[in-house]
Amino acid sequence: MNDTPGLSTRCVHAGEIDDAHGSPFTPIYHTTTFRFASTADLLDVVEGRKAGSLYTRYGLNPTIASLESKLAALEGAEAAWAFCSGMAAESALFLAHGREGIVCLGEAYGGTLELLADQLPQLGIQTHFVPGQELGQLEALLRQGVKLVFFETPTNPTIDLYDIAAISALAHRHGARVAIDNTFASPVNQQPLGLGADFVVHSCTKFLGGHSDLTAGALMGSRELLAPVCNWRKNLGSTIAPEIAALLARSIRTLPIRVRQQNATALAIAEAMARHPKIRRVLYPGLPDFPGHELAKKQMSGYGGMLTIEVAGSGADATRVADRLKLFALAPSLGGVESLATQPCTTTHHGLSAAERARRGISDAMLRLSIGLEDADDLIADLEQALV
């Protein structure tokens, strides 16, 4: 095998540990605790001199450790921690590394925005929000000493892209760290650590899990930067369960083949919708006239399974289209094998006023599509019958 096997090989084999019975994949260690031959052996693990299993909430369980090796390999990271949700991963990251201030650039997931705007300030953590195009504001905050820059790229639902390499270089000049929520792109399409970011966070509930049947999160980065996060996870009690860890590892083994198909189908749908007379706009990084296309070519290796279409009409017209869809399920979330449609103004961005949505470039006539593994022709036919 090569020194660094390809991503698909890593997805199948990284982290897998053989047991005494020759199982091809890591079994589920369905236990909370592990016994030791002697007190000396126990102390070696407790005091960190030896790797070993100890207590499942600490993450010291072979099934969890195996998943974490796989997660690290996916993002080319030294280390990874697995959590019981994407929000758990973000919370632990912010608590461990955000106490000197956090700046969130551009749009972010609703839960992330709530955590940053409402909860963390209650603990005295200063959080700041910088609109996507205001990099000057970002620099001013960095000069004031803010030490953690967080952003998503591409974002939801406007599919804005941010230059990971350029923003990481700017942050590093000011001694700050950069964390990317890579949920939308997945490690198949984008590798932020290789572009200069310090942390990658995932909602594994989405593409990594891929089947809408598990909730989990992950944080990847250097061993040194991840070390303090582990104690937050341990004592917040937000470790992944071994059963979910095994289910997630099972899913990751097919991640590249799923995501590459989702990329191809999403592009076919984006192209068909771009030609459709009842569609005003298609937001998809793979379309040559999309504003983020050049940046996508630079920092992504695939354009992703997420796109947003804007119906030529009002919010009510878009609702009628959404309600007429048959194959696309009307549901939030994303990244599964089944295609989903949501209207941001009735779901993810329902809590904002119409004026606030408009300020953020979110039209009520937008529908966000998460493309699954159905045949592209069937998905296009479903959209066409709904757009009559």
Q: Quick check: 205 binds ligand PLP (CB under 6 A)?
A: yes
DSSP states of 252-265: HTTHHHHHHHHHHH
83 close to 230: Cβ distance less than 8 angstroms:
no
Q: Binding residue for ligand PLP (CB under 6 A) from 98, 187, 217, 302?
A: 217
Give me the catalytic one of 10, 70, 109, 284: 109
CB of residue 33 vs ligand PLP: minimum separation in angstroms?
A: 27
In the region spanning residues 130 to 159, those forming contacts with ligand PLP, defined by CB under 6 A, are 152
Whose Cβ is closer to ligand PLP: residue 14's or residue 115's? 115
The interface region with ligand PLP, picked from 64-72, 142-150, 199-207, 290-298 by CB under 6 A, is 199-207
CB of residue 109 vs ligand PLP: minimum separation in angstroms?
A: 3
Q: What is the dihedral of CA 241, 244, 249, 251, to 10 degrees?
A: -160
The whole-angstrom separation of Cα 375 and Cα 387 is 19
Q: What are phi and psi of 199, to 5 degrees?
A: -135, 145
The whole-angstrom separation of Cα 350 and Cα 347 is 5
Q: Quick check: 53 binds ligand PLP (CB under 6 A)?
A: no
Whose Cβ is closer to ligand PLP: residue 142's or residue 341's? 341
Whose Cβ is closer to ligand PLP: residue 86's or residue 292's? 86
In the region spanning residues 69 to 128, those forming contacts with ligand PLP, defined by CB under 6 A, are 85-87, 109, 111-112
Q: Quick check: 203 binds ligand PLP (CB under 6 A)?
A: yes
Q: Binding residue for ligand PLP (CB under 6 A) from 68, 181, 310, 364?
A: 181
Across the chain, the runs of DSSP E, i.e. the strands, are 79-83, 102-105, 127-130, 148-152, 177-181, 199-203, 217-221, 279-283, 306-311, 329-330, 340-342, 366-370
Choose among 226, 192, 250: nearest CA to 59: 226
Q: Is 206 a catalytic residue?
A: yes
The whole-angstrom separation of Cα 267 and Cα 305 is 8
Give me the catalytic one of 10, 29, 57, 162: 57
Choose among 380, 286, 379: nearest CA to 339: 379
Instruction: Return the half-sphere exposure (C-beta side, CA atoms, 13 A cut-off) of residue 189.
Output: 26
Bond preceding residue 157 cis, omega within 30 of 0: yes
The interface region with ligand PLP, picked from 6-14, 45-53, 60-68, 203-211 by CB under 6 A, is 203-211
CB of residue 230 vs ligand PLP: minimum separation in angstroms?
A: 19
The catalytic site residues sit at: 57, 109, 181, 206
Q: Which residues of this protein are in contact with ligand PLP, per CB under 6 A?
A: 85-87, 109, 111-112, 152, 181, 183-184, 203, 205-206, 215, 217
